[in-house]
Structure 1
């Protein structure tokens, strides 16, 4: 009897923990007064820099479409895998020297440039071969991974360079009821190692953070709350209790045979 009473109180405690979170910590940006809705400051956007192993979609067009077809067909034929388990994509890979090798144009250094700056550098080279070339450059492998207490943890390839941490969380289906809004961790790979940044989604200061805009290969981790841990423990204890009960029943039947 005491065992069932203990389990009852444990379940009550779990419901109280979850209930408290839903009332106190689930709403985002709670500290923004309504009078300040039109005055929220936001961090300045910094354009992405091209790095080694990035995959770029590079397109060159001229008045003579046949003249630039060799370059564009080269991108189509240059199929690579943009991450583990992902589908193949077409593009030019930035090698260890920070260069891309384009048909006809040859090798061009793009490391450390923005997509706009790379476009200018490639156009300058293309002017040597084509008449009034138009160049487009965009990232193919702008990938962000969202894991932890979200609805759809996965790696997402972004269609645009201007992506915020809220965009990534939205793609992952938002946090679950067990996700800790006050402890969302951003993991970023830099030239000197990994950089860890903590976000509090309950605080409007997130909009001012220099990490508000994401970079390629960023990882976002949402920590589970105590309620999720308690729920998991309760489920484990329930399984153990059921197994123990079945064993006790089996032992009782055997002793009566």
Structure 2
């Protein structure tokens, strides 16, 4: 048996597979991070959306007069759980409204929590209910969805108003080896429109864009590289490719002896 004829196709197969392997440049995060050191950070407040669940606390120097404007929340073992607060919170309707005690319908959709606080406060004062109230509005059901090449995909809750993309990836236990880091897709619905952003994690340039902070109901999609996509997920990473190729080559050499 001609050894060259046997080894040539194996060698070509190895080259083809290696072309699909991920390079170091495609793997490393934030490769130009030093260029963006000491950059000024810009934050934007998120807006209240339909299906948000709000916790609204109304206070006053006299707690008795403020009590009718607060919803009673049950406790578990003497403590109020987030799930209990969600069940008793204010659900924002598709029209962006909530129903509060005494004030009845209040439109908060499209407002930031701070703007909603001010609006409720103005109504309490303007309609003669309270003289100097305090109002606190907080979204209880903040969550994002992350799919694709991460180690722990799914729907992940968070308590902050927004988190960084790196925080979101960390909550999903990082990207897999097969993830395409140069084109992370961020899907967001704003004012009835669906926006799609493309983010390259190998550069730090996106970190200064406030649009790329993860907000309520965002969806992150991480695509697999060509090698994994073409193999239908059977091949996980380049090391596995080399292992399979080496095994095939060893079998061929044994047969050829």
TM-score by length of 1: 0.72
Give the conservation status (yes or no) of the 8 Å contact 1:187–1:197: yes
Unaligned runs of 5+ in 1: 78-86, 236-257
Shift of 1:149: 0.5
Name the counterpart of 1:81.
none
Q: Is the 8 A contact 1:152 1:173 kept in 2?
A: yes
The CA deviation at 1:8 is 7.8
Return structure 1 stretches of 4+ with deviation > 4 angstroms: 4-18
Counterpart of 1:249 in structure 2 is: none
Query: How big is each residue's C-alpha offset from its partner over 1:30-82, in whole Å with a ceiling of 9 and x where there is no partner?
Result: 134x4x3533455x3221122333221111122333433333235x37xxxxx
Query: How far off is 1:16 after superposition?
Result: 4.3
* Cα drift, residue 145 of structure 1: 0.7
Partner of 1:53: 51
Q: 1:185 to 1:105 in 2, by over 3 A?
A: same
Judge conservation of contact 2:179–2:224 (CA < 8 Å) in 1.
yes
Maintained 8 Å contact 1:63/1:131 = no
Partner of 1:65: 63
Equivalent residue, structure 2, for 1:232: 233
Matched, 1:39 2:27: no
The count of aligned residue pairs is 220
Counterpart in 1 of 2:92?
A: 94
Quick one: distance in 1 between partners of 2:221 and 2:17?
25
User: Which residue of 2 is the match for residue 30 of structure 1?
Assistant: 31
Distance 2:16 2:51 in 1: 47
Q: 1:116 to 1:10 in 2, by over 3 A?
A: farther
1:149 is matched with: 149
RMSD: 3.3
Partner of 2:114: 116
Q: 2-side partners of 1:144 and 1:119: how far apart?
A: 24
Alignment partners' CA distance in 1, 2:232 and 2:11: 13
Deviations 1:81-123 (A, max 9, x none): xxxxxx6723111224422211123222222221111111112
Unaligned runs of 5+ in 2: 75-82, 237-257
